[in-house]
Amino acid sequence: MFCEQCEQTASGNGCHQWGACGKSPQLNAVQDLLVYCLRGLAPVVIKARQLGISTHDEDVFTCESLFATMTNVNFDRKRFTKYVRDCIEKRDNLKAKVKEASPEPVKWTRVSGYHPDFNESLVEQGQDLALGFISESARDVDIFSLKLTVLYGIKGAASYTFHAQELGQEDEQVYEFIQEALDALNHQDFTLDDWVNLALKVGEINLRAMELLDAGHTNTYGHPTPTPVPLNPRKGKAILVSGHDIRQLEAILKQTADKGITVYTHGELLPAHGYPLLKQNYPHLYGHYGTAWQNQTKEFAKFPGAIIVTTNCLMPPHETYDEKLFTIGPVGFAGINYIPAEEGNIPNFSPAIQQSLDMPGFVEEQPPRQVMAGFARNAVLNVADQVIDGVKQGKIRHFFLVGGCDGAKPERNYYTEFVEKVPEDCIVLTLACGKFRFFDQQLGEIGSLPRLMDVGQCNDAYSAIQIALGLAKAFDMDVNQLPLSMILSWYEQKAVAVLLTLLYLGIKDIRLGPTLPAFISPNVFKLLSEKYQLKAITTPDEDLAACLG
Ligand code: FSO
Ligand code: SF4
């Protein structure tokens, strides 16, 4: 096997024997086969779109399938076999429509004519196809690096697009580009510059995807407002919802209303507490339980109710809690309860609800503890005057956006130490699951502004960008001249998409860690560091001094 799409890739240069995430070589091969089949579907979708044929079903399918291949989403090989079958069926049906509508016969390339043999091992077929793709690295390691960057970036963008469409927010140009980028992977004639431009275009389209998702969230649930979130569980039956999917969280809230069950968020669902209409309509959305994804095996084991995982990051579950664990949507793990979607793409959560009712729930009160959530763009830009005054009066020296993913590597202590060392006249904005290393620290205030503000999930990078652009406008300066430094941590492919968005926007001096992506070749990194001054993190002291210098 060969996979290097995430930060924990083995020895920093690719998982070859077994995935460090728990992915088996067999599963990896079928995921590779699916990506190959999606590359074959893409030219058919592009042609169909040109002929005015609706491709909505194929576009949404493509986004969901790419999402499923991301790190820590789906470990169930059977589900991938089904995705492959559906992909081929959708492609052939669409080809038939194209044939009917096209005035001239269309000649498809080999990738669009490919048919896996479902009577034979898909694993071997996937392995063969993957070998062909990997051999491209021998031809030009930098182009191969950029091809992987594009592939991983569109996986991230596809996951945000998938969430946005669930909330009724779609834009044809996003779907169009995702298909074009998949098709680009079939081409051998693109130059290095073409690939660089395509990678930046992934960033541009991902910005639009995050904007759509932001619109989906804020139109449906209102703009987040600063909200205290209890960290101490309350007595009684409990259900835990993990992942990123706020629409599915709402569906769970609806289905648990009046059942005497308290709903807790886990991981990247913490920011859900900031949405006023969720809080208002569902008083049993109470608090947050646990920290970042890599701690879930310990945290899930102790949770006294059912646990529903709506997206990544799912870890291979421990047998002590597999009975109370449920997955939905693109998420899966062989042998673990999967609740399929029903009407309106919403599952019937009864099995999980019953599981929670059958379990003891929390039996003891615990001393109160809380964190604040909900410092999204409106909340921060509403107090822009105070921010500007603070800066002008020298009370606020600098802003740090310390955001991104968490992970298990000890080097990630850098981020905790960095935040602890940020001087008292500076403000820390944070987002995504990396914040769990410091989210409950009491950093105090500068005037009435908290020194630690949680902007939201990883996709709320859109909100953080709007904050930066809003401040740049208010100060009448370029965003790169703001007293703002970005200290980012990455783990999986959404973070790749977000990084490409920041580069597309021309944001410079980003510090990235805990290690640089293995799929970025030395030459490509040189190019990015020359053009954007992208750099690897060093030590908190050194980086702080450089940012404040
Ligand atoms: Fe984290 Fe996982 Fe949100 Fe990622 S829970 S690591 S970047 O999936 O998406 O921040
Ligand atoms: Fe390895 Fe990450 Fe790929 Fe899993 S997703 S196989 S850990 S590179």
Tell me if 21 is assigned to a ligand binding site: yes
Q: CATH no. for residue 73?
A: 1.20.1270.20
Tell me if 63 is assigned to a ligand binding site: no
Say yes or no: 137 and 176 in one domain: yes
Q: How many A from CA of 332 to the centre of ligand 2?
A: 16
Say yes or no: 351 and 458 in one domain: no
Assess if residue 538 is contained within a domain.
yes
Tell me if 37 is assigned to a ligand binding site: no
At 308-319, the pLDDT tens digits run: 999 999 999 999
Rounded to an integer, the average pLDDT of 335-340 is: 98
Residue after which a domain boundary falls, among 197, 220, 243 = 220
Give the atom of ligand 2 at the shortest distance from the alpha carbon of 18. Answer: 6
Closest protein CA for atom 6 of ligand 2? 19
In the numeric block, the tokens 């913490």 are attached to 270
Assess if residue 372 is contained within a domain.
no
Whether the predicted interface score ipTM is above 0.90:
yes
Say yes or no: 195 and 250 in one domain: no
**How far is Cα of residue 269 from the mean position of the Cα atoms in its chain?**
12
Q: Which ligand is nearest to the CA of 412?
A: 1
Q: How far apart are CA 241 and CA 256, in angstroms?
A: 12
pLDDT of residue 150: 98
pLDDT of residue 454: 98
pLDDT of residue 547: 98
312 near 71, Cβ under 8 Å? yes
19 lines ligand 2 (CB under 6 A): yes
Structure tokens at 476: 């009448």
482 near 468, Cβ under 8 Å? yes
Decide if pLDDT at 12 tops 90: no
Say yes or no: 255 and 153 in one domain: no
Say yes or no: 114 and 73 in one domain: yes
Say yes or no: 80 and 188 in one domain: yes
Tell me if 433 is assigned to a ligand binding site: yes
Assess if residue 364 is contained within a domain.
no
CA distances from 198 to 148, 173, 217 (A): 11, 15, 28
Count of structural domains, the chain: 3
Assess if residue 416 is contained within a domain.
yes
Say yes or no: 308 and 417 in one domain: no
Rounded to an integer, the average pLDDT of 469-497 is: 97
Residue after which a domain boundary falls, among 331, 358, 385 = 358
Assess if residue 345 is contained within a domain.
yes
Decide if pLDDT at 75 tops 90: yes
Decide if pLDDT at 7 tops 90: yes
Residue after which a domain boundary falls, among 174, 199, 220 = 220
Q: CATH no. for residue 464?
A: 3.40.50.2030
325 lines ligand 2 (CB under 6 A): no
Say yes or no: 189 and 113 in one domain: yes
Q: How many A from CA of 502 to the centre of ligand 1?
A: 17
Assess if residue 366 is contained within a domain.
no
Q: How many A from CA of 68 to the centre of ligand 2?
A: 13
Assess if residue 371 is contained within a domain.
no
Q: Which of 242, 415, 494, 502 to mutate to test the pocket of ligand 1 (most atoms within 8 A of CB)?
A: 494
At 250-270, the pLDDT tens digits run: 999 999 999 999 999 999 999
Q: Containing domain of residue 537, as a range?
A: 377-548
Say yes or no: 295 and 391 in one domain: no
Say yes or no: 215 and 235 in one domain: no
